[in-house]
Amino acid sequence: MKKRYVIFITIIVITLELLIGCNNNSLKNPAVTEKPIVGKNNKQEVKEKIKKEENIFYVKPSELNVRENPTKKSNIIDKLKKFNKVIILGEHEEKDDNGEIISTWYRVKFINEQDENKIGWISSNYVVKTREEILSDKLKGIDFSPQEKTFEYPNNKRKKVKGIYLTIHSAIGERLEKLIELSKKSEINAFVIDVKDDYGKMLFKTDAAQKYAPIANEKAISKRDMKNLVKKLKENDIYLIARIVTFKDPTYTQYYPERAIMDKTTGEAFVSKDKLRWASPHDRNLWDYDIQVAKEAAKIGFNEIQFDYVRFPASNGGKLDAKLDYRNNNGDISKPQTIQSFLKYARENISKENVYISADIFGLVASVTDDMGLGQYWEAVSNVVDYVCPMMYPSHYGNTVYGLDIPDAHPYETVFQSAKDSIKRNKNIDTPATIRPWIQDFTASWVRGHIKYNENEVKAQIKALNDNGIDEYILWNAGNKYSFE
C-alpha cells in the first residue's frame, strides 16, 4: 500500500512539473531538458550526493552572475566567486525564435557570502567539474578531498583560544609569572611557547635534537623541569601550544649544509633578510626531525602543535625561484603540494598523540588566488590541519590593500576584510580547519604612516574577528609585552 502511494504521488509531481514547463509565457519555472538531479524534500539524498561530490561543479571566472531566470535579460540575484561550489539541480536550453539553442543554463544551489542557501541560474559555460581544471600548473596536485579529522580528543578538549606568544626566555625566566597573572586578570587562556625557535634551538632537551642537531639542546632545560613547567601552567588552566619553526633552521643546516636552500649565484646557502639559513621544505630528513620534536612536546603535555615558517622563503612572489636551488629530489611537485604533504604527514603521525595540529600562514593568502610563491595555498593548508592561523597583522599589508591607504592605521577594517576572505576560502572545502588568527599587539614603527598600537587597537582587531563569527585569536609581540597587562 505504501509503495503504491509513493508511486501515485511521484506521478502527480512529474505531471505538474511538465505542465509548468510547457507554459512558454513564463520563465519562472522553465522546463528542464533532464530530470532534476536533486530530489525534492529529500535532505538525506542531498547530503549524500554532496558527500560523494556528485553533481558538484566549481565556478571558473573570478566573478559569475547568478540570475533569477535562465536568460541574460533576467535579474541578477547574487554573485559567485572563482572556486565557489555549486550543486546542479537541472538545466534549461535557451532558444531563439527559430528554435536554435542560444545557450544552456544550469539551475544551481549554492551558499552565498551571507551564508545563505540560495537557488538561481548560471550559464553552463562558466563552471567545471573539478578544481584542477581551474588551477594553474603551480597549484596542481593539491588534495581537496575530505580528510579524516578527529574533532575532539576525550582527554584533550578543544578550547576557544585567546592566546599570547612566549619566547623560550619568557617561558623559563622571571617574565613567566607576570604572564600567568595576565591570564588570571584577562581573557587570555593559552600560551604559544617556542619549543623549537627561529634559530633551531630547543626549549627542553629532546631526543630528536640529540639525534639530528645536538647543539640545539645546548641551553635547553631538562625534561624533568619541562614537566614541572607544564604542570604549573596547566594548574593555572592554560592551554599549551608548542610552536615549532619548521623549515627556517640555521642550526640544522649547520649539520646538513647540503640540505640548505642554495643561492645559485653564490654557491652558498641562501640567507633570508633576518640573516638566517633555511633548509629545504623538500627535505624528508627535516620532516622527521620536526615531527619527532612535536611528538616529544605532545608526550610532555602540550595540547597542540603549531608549525610556523611552514613554507618556502619569501621569494618576491616566486621571482627569486630562478636563482634558488630548493634541493628538490622528489620529482615534479609544486610548492603548495610540498607544504600540504608535510602537514598531512605531520597530522598522520602526531594526531596519534591526541593533540591538535595548527599551521601559521600569511594573512594575505586568504585574499589572493595563488600561493604567493610561499607554497601556502589556503585550501591546501586548511584542509589538512585542525587550526589554520593566518597572521593578520595590519602592518604586514601593503598600502591600498582592501582599499585602505595604510592598513596599519586601520586595524578593524584590515582584520575584518582578511577574516571575511578567510571564511570565504574555507567554504571551498568540505573539511576546513578552524580559523584562529594571529593579530597585532606591537607598534610597527618601520611603516610610514603607522599608528601606535595599544589596548584599543587590539580590541578593534578582536571585534573585527567577532563580527565575522571568529571567536579565537593569538596576540603577537616579539618581546612578549602585551597591552592587556
181 with 285, same domain: the answer is: yes
Residues 309 and 341 in one domain: yes
Query: Do 416 and 432 belong together in one domain?
Result: yes
Q: How far apart are CA 296 and CA 25, in angstroms?
A: 71
Plot region of 192 (φ>0 → left; ψ -120 to 50 → alpha; else → beta) = beta
Cell of 112: 552565498
Q: Strand 304-308 to strand 239-245: parallel, antiparallel, or no bridges (unpaired)?
A: parallel
Same domain (yes/no): 197, 322: yes
Q: Decide if 24 is inside a domain.
A: no
Cell triple for residue 226?
619541562
Band (pLDDT 50/70/90 cuts) for residue 446 is very high
| Banded model confidence at residue 53, pLDDT cuts 50, 70, 90 | low
126 plus 149 within the same structural domain: no
% of the chain at pLDDT higher than 70 = 89
69 and 207 fall within a common domain: no
CB 168 within 8 A of CB 197: yes
Distance CA 176, CA 444 (A): 25
H helical segments located in 164-316:
168-172, 175-185, 207-212, 223-235, 250-255, 284-300
Q: Considering 133, 156, 179, which residue would you say is the last residue of a domain?
A: 133
State the cell numbers at 329: 629530489
Beta bridge partners of 325: 262
Last residue of a domain, one of 133, 161, 191: 133
Q: How far is CA 393 from the centre of its chain?
A: 16
Mean pLDDT confidence for 253-263: 97
Closest CA to 40 of 57, 16, 66: 16
pLDDT digits (tens, 9 = 90+) for 393-407: 999 999 999 999 999
Residue 26's pLDDT band, with cuts at 50, 70 and 90, is: very low
- Amino acid at position 310, single letter: V
Domain contains 21: no
Distance CA 375, CA 107 (A): 36
Pairwise CA distance, residues 13 & 405, whole Å: 57
For residues 236 and 208, state if they share a domain.
Answer: yes
Its sign, for the CA torsion 419, 239, 309, 168, is positive
Q: What is the mean pLDDT of the chain?
A: 90
pLDDT digits (tens, 9 = 90+) for 145-154: 999 999 999 9
Strand locations in 188-294 (E): 190-196, 239-245, 262-263, 268-269
Least confident span in 11-20, 272-281, 472-481: 11-20
User: What is the structure's pLDDT at 113?
Assistant: 81
Angle of the 223-235 helix axis to the 284-300 helix axis, nearest 10: 60
User: Nine-digit cell at 460?
Assistant: 578593534
Chosen domain end from 133, 162, 181: 133
Higher per-residue confidence, 264 vs 37: 264
User: pLDDT tens digits, residue range 71-95?
Assistant: 999 999 999 988 888 999 999 999 9
Name residues whose C-beta falls within 8 Å of residue 164's C-beta, 6 or more positions apart in sequence.
179, 182, 188, 190, 191, 192, 441, 474, 475, 477, 480, 482
Claim to verify: residue 182 and residue 246 sit in the same structural domain: yes
Q: What is the CATH number of the domain that holds 58?
A: 2.30.30.40
Alpha-carbon distance of 168 to 179, in angstroms, equals 13
Instruction: Look at residue 1 and tell me if it is in a domain.
Output: no
206/112 same-domain check: no
Cα 369 from chain centroid? Answer: 13
User: Where is pLDDT greater, at 485 or 120?
Assistant: 120
- Which CATH number fits the domain that encloses residue 208? 3.20.20.80
- Residue 483 is assigned to a structural domain of this protein: no
- Is residue 9 situated within a structural domain? no
Are 152 and 114 found together in one domain? no
Asked if residue 48 and residue 171 are part of one domain, the reply reads no
Range 132-136 average pLDDT: 87
Average pLDDT over residues 54-63: 91
**pLDDT tens digit string along 312-348?**
999 887 788 999 999 998 888 999 999 999 999 999 9
Q: Is there a domain that residue 2 lies in?
A: no
State the residue range of the domain holding 117.
32-133
Q: Are residues 97 and 201 in the same domain?
A: no
Beta-bridge mates of residue 91: 106
Would you say residue 356 has pLDDT above 80?
yes
